[in-house]
Structure 1
């Protein structure tokens, strides 16, 4: 287990600006290579060539391409959570529909990168224990925040707000991931409207209407 964990971690945490810039070049190059060639053909040699560094220099930072992909997924997750936290700490709209729209739009915007790269991250990234723990912690924070919103909102007609919050958080994350990463392009404004409408109706419909 320890060796597997080490295999998915960076080898060196940069302490100087130059080293950090090199790591950024590796990650940028890897994103480009994975998007263009896919994961199987996205070798460390190609990444090093794209980053214009030697393969030996790359290995000073990452032991393999799995560790690079885990780092890309971690940064993708952190970017999305930073955007969510900023919005949670700001002023939200009054209606439940527009509140849901805010969080759907944040999720969509966080996934509007190259769809091929997103597919690689979703389908092929190894899940290190640290990454799984990070995903779990972020999910718990989002669920707690959404439950608090639902508990205090007059339009919400759900009794079990904890389960409802989990459903909303999971649905937004999974559906956005799945459809934006799909090979067939999707109409983003229509997708946003339909997802918002679906979740709003679920939260505001009378129990008899949901049944």
Structure 2
């Protein structure tokens, strides 16, 4: 695909410009959640944000750069939430810990399903592989910390980086597959996800 500028034009340094960028990103998230990708454009985002299109372009050269900023923000939120959730699992059983992590994944996908599905699509479309690998490494490190926390009940070969990657893949596959056909999580999704994760971990 043609080379497209995906970085913000400039970073806000003053309180006023920071507030403008936050307003633009909040408006972009709102437009994407309400209209998905078909109705997402910089004119509409600027209108909702209450700024001129020119002001928006001072910070974001195009709508792809705006989407990348949203992806980056959501990645940061997810990674921070996962790291906090893993810390909160200390002292819990393996199953209870997996249930907590499963609930986090489901909440992340279904709290705003149109928005989440749109970002999932754009993550695959846009050339941001290096950014995604860095994000996945951070998630993998958090899951690895969870495995180490429960190493006394796990087969030794499961306390490894490959296992952390597999757990993330299993979680994404199940959660995103259901999200493609429903805007609310199926009642049995938590149970199925925990069963799949437990089955993988406890099988030598």
With the shorter chain as reference, the TM-score category is: 0.7 to 0.9
Distance 1:190 1:136 in 2: 27
Give secondary structure in 2 for the equivalent of 1:138. Answer: helix
What is residue 73 of structure 1 aligned with on the other side? 71
What is residue 194 of structure 1 aligned with on the other side? 192
Summarize the Cα distance change of 1:89–1:114 in structure 2 as closer, same or farther, 3 Å threshold: closer
Q: C-alpha offsets along residues 13-53 of structure 1, whole Å, 9 cap, x if unaligned? A: 11111111111111111112122222243111111111111
What is residue 165 of structure 2 aligned with on the other side? 166
Match of 1:110 among 104, 108, 124: 108
Distance 1:130 1:201 in 2: 31
Distance 1:188 1:82 in 2: 26
Give secondary structure in 1 for the equivalent of 2:152. Answer: coil
By how many angstroms is 1:173 displaced? 3.2
Using the TM superposition, name which of 7-16 and 121-130 deviates more.
121-130
Summarize the Cα distance change of 1:123–1:112 in structure 2 as closer, same or farther, 3 Å threshold: same
Query: Does structure 1 conserve the Cα–Cα contact (< 8 Å) formed by 2:110 and 2:183?
Result: no
Q: C-alpha offsets along residues 69-91 of structure 1, whole Å, 9 cap, x if unaligned? A: 11111111111111111233345
Query: Does structure 2 conserve the Cα–Cα contact (< 8 Å) formed by 1:30 and 1:68?
Result: yes
By how many angstroms is 1:105 displaced? 1.5
Using the TM superposition, name which of 75-84 and 133-142 deviates more.
133-142
What is residue 81 of structure 2 aligned with on the other side? 83
Q: Give the number of equivalent residue pairs.
A: 201
What is residue 35 of structure 1 aligned with on the other side? 33
Structure 1 segments, 4+ long, off by >3 Å, are: 157-161, 185-189
Unaligned residue ranges in structure 2 (runs of 5+): none
Summarize the Cα distance change of 1:91–1:99 in structure 2 as closer, same or farther, 3 Å threshold: closer
Q: C-alpha offsets along residues 147-197 of structure 1, whole Å, 9 cap, x if unaligned? A: 4235x232x2463442333211221234323423x2423445521122112
By how many angstroms is 1:201 displaced? 2.9
Query: Does structure 2 conserve the Cα–Cα contact (< 8 Å) formed by 1:33 and 1:42?
Result: yes
Unaligned residue ranges in structure 1 (runs of 5+): none
TM-score, with normalisation over the residues of structure 2? Answer: 0.85
Distance 2:87 2:168 in 1: 17
TM-score, with normalisation over the residues of structure 1? Answer: 0.82
